[in-house]
Amino acid sequence: MATGTQRQLFAQCSMCEYEWEDRDSFLYDNSLSLNGYQADLDNLENGWFLFTHITDECGSTIAVKAGLFFDLYGGTVYEEKKTGTKECPGYCLNESILRPCPSKCKCGFVREILTIIDDMKKNNQVEV
């Protein structure tokens, strides 16, 4: 009977089975492109950041829990959710919109994280 600890991965591509050991290796990987955000407006940590794995062998979408990136943001987090109000532009309801939200909404900081990740990938820099 084999014993041992199971290896913990940050992410694995379900199509080609490529593995990323940790968040930094995931963010540094130029074969990944940030392409969406599926919001969970009731529990923001359970939303999904969507990345496309772009290689010759793969074009799969990889979903990673938004909460795994929350520590990248150090700014203001508002208390009130503005979803569905006249102040809400509806960005969180459209997964392909990645830009920051102009509303002072509880959900807005997640959109700021999208910008941080996108900037990191463009600059190929990861700040820890």
What tens-digit pLDDT sequence spans the chain (128 residues)?
A: 555 566 789 999 999 999 999 999 999 899 999 999 999 999 999 999 999 999 999 999 999 999 999 999 999 999 999 998 999 999 999 999 999 999 999 999 999 999 999 888 888 755 54
In this prediction, residue 2 carries a pLDDT of 54
Predicted pLDDT of residue 74: 94
Whole-angstrom distance, CA of residue 39 vs CA of residue 107: 9
- In this predicted structure, what is the pLDDT of residue 112? 94
